[in-house]
Structure 1
């Protein structure tokens, strides 16, 4: 038995539906003789009559009755497959896997995902949160579609697109007199108890560079691995700290304030890290455009709120 083409299956189904060569031919947009030849070819290929014909009616034979649900299933699967492909190509379906710094995941991704899924509800988003170098490795290993992190080292397999600058600032309690000052010199840390971030964090190197360039010597206290720990210590009156703006947004505490540090201004670049040899899916491309829009909002001074979303997080 030879296999039938999709157009032959469609012709068979239309004739079975209408029980009329004239009506079926009209709906298919072909002539009656052409449809009659198609049906003859189909019956020759399957090796059995599929329709009983007389001058007035066309009815299915037992073999035709057997073929009808099978043909309907094949045509339905065909439509489903290409509808899903079309939705994927249009960015309306798929999975986006993102690796990101915790501060970025907290401050930038929730608003981006909320806006994106309003337009593309069929797209699922997964997030891996980790430090910068590990984000780069996840992208390099192709476990994530892209990462959001500081620039990678010069590499043949990763490329970088900056989204924004994440600036270091002073963090203190809202009732601290330092909160009334719009910006601070780095020397402020020489006169106050300084809560330090541990060397394993990316924050530590940025702060050390700022202190060194300003020529400020400080006594480092606690050496926190997590910004949330530093924030709790500040709130309990143990001292002040230097954190980036996005990290402050991650903490999200109304009891604390962030003030820029100047002379020098120290900032890290945050952007999209992707594999040079891997194309982004249409959905991922659309999500990157949404991230660019959210980054513009942050650059204008309006840090997006972080609504609660049902996301999949993988540590």
Structure 2
């Protein structure tokens, strides 16, 4: 027979009150019902816990030994139930997310700040990685959701939201590309380009755009991180192509960003989870906020 926590609570109440009458009143029970609970607990543990007569109630030696143990068990289980309810209603829990560095450095801090205001007990596990690694982390269930780039047809994933991010050319203010409002793809032909490394979502878009146009990019260097690409542009190694949402684009006063007048230079953005996996309630709240945020992503005119 399993321990019944109502029975434990009844025993603790009687032990503290030293009276079935007072304990029954505190528990809002009838005395016969309270007596049944105490007898059931004694049968479960296999030992008498209370000595009682018409005048008083006293703990047996076994009752004195077990009282602190049962009090701790009841306290721990109440905390377990409280924590479980908090996880269920989204007032507690951990948001585990992998996302592209672009978004980790732009919209993610604001999203975390807003959710922490709404759910102070929320915790966050963040991995800012390139698109291929986002997918890997979601597939392995190291994270629950991922904000990744590129078209996604993998049946392992469920798409929660899809949007786009327009790419721009980043160049020095004195560069000839900075003179116009837009840059055409043919303007990039023959220029040294600082492109993010293969495997990044931006690079996949750029390679596909050049391949479809018949132009061959002149690649000067291939850093992994956007901030490194910006530093290389600042150092005169070429121009780079980055998402318009990237904070790195605005970080350098000596550089400017110009949209590329070609619909091929658009990066798909996809919010995903592993198919068949249930999201924690707090993560559901985070997903709703993230969908609103990335839903406002720039669209190509």
TM value normalised by structure 2: 0.84
1:222 aligned residue (220, 223, 232):
220
Q: Secondary structure at the match of 1:92?
A: coil
Gaps of 5+ in 2: none
Superposition pairs of residues 153-164 of structure 1, within 5 angstroms: 153-164=152-163
Check the 8 A contact 2:192/2:238 in 1, yes or no: yes
* Residue 10, structure 1, aligned to residue 30, structure 2: no
| Deviations 1:228-251 (CA, angstroms, capped at 9, x unpaired) | 3331232234443322213x3245
Of the structure 1 ranges 233-242 and 70-79, higher mean CA displacement relative to structure 2 is found in: 233-242
CA–CA distance in structure 2, aligned partners of residues 268 and 237 of structure 1: 26
CA–CA distance in structure 1, aligned partners of residues 40 and 157 of structure 2: 56
Residue in 2 that maps onto 1:149: 148
| Cα gap change, 1:94 to 1:219, in 2 (>3 Å) | closer
> How far has the Cα of 1:297 moved from its partner?
4.8
| Deviations 1:139-193 (CA, angstroms, capped at 9, x unpaired) | 2222321221124553332222334311111212245565464333334335x84
Residue in 1 that maps onto 2:272: 273
Check the 8 A contact 1:214/1:263 in 2, yes or no: no
Q: Secondary structure at the match of 1:184?
A: coil
Check the 8 A contact 1:162/1:272 in 2, yes or no: yes
Residue in 1 that maps onto 2:251: 253
Residue in 2 that maps onto 1:22: 21
Superposition pairs of residues 109-148 of structure 1, within 5 angstroms: 109-148=108-147
| Deviations 1:16-72 (CA, angstroms, capped at 9, x unpaired) | 121222221122222223323433444455454433334443222322222211221
Check the 8 A contact 1:149/1:271 in 2, yes or no: yes
CA–CA distance in structure 2, aligned partners of residues 158 and 278 of structure 1: 10
Q: Secondary structure at the match of 2:146?
A: strand
Check the 8 A contact 1:149/1:273 in 2, yes or no: yes
CA–CA distance in structure 1, aligned partners of residues 160 and 298 of structure 2: 15
Check the 8 A contact 2:19/2:57 in 1, yes or no: yes
CA–CA distance in structure 1, aligned partners of residues 36 and 165 of structure 2: 71
CA–CA distance in structure 1, aligned partners of residues 2 and 121 of structure 2: 35
Q: Secondary structure at the match of 2:98?
A: strand
> How far has the Cα of 1:3 moved from its partner?
5.5
Check the 8 A contact 1:162/1:269 in 2, yes or no: no
Residue in 1 that maps onto 2:86: 87
> How far has the Cα of 1:121 moved from its partner?
3.2
| Cα gap change, 1:72 to 1:196, in 2 (>3 Å) | same
| Deviations 1:104-129 (CA, angstroms, capped at 9, x unpaired) | 32223222222222323333322233
| Cα gap change, 1:54 to 1:139, in 2 (>3 Å) | closer
> How far has the Cα of 1:80 moved from its partner?
1.1
Count of aligned pairs? 296
Gaps of 5+ in 1: 301-315
Check the 8 A contact 2:193/2:239 in 1, yes or no: yes
CA–CA distance in structure 2, aligned partners of residues 81 and 103 of structure 1: 38
Of the structure 1 ranges 26-35 and 81-90, higher mean CA displacement relative to structure 2 is found in: 26-35
Check the 8 A contact 1:158/1:276 in 2, yes or no: yes
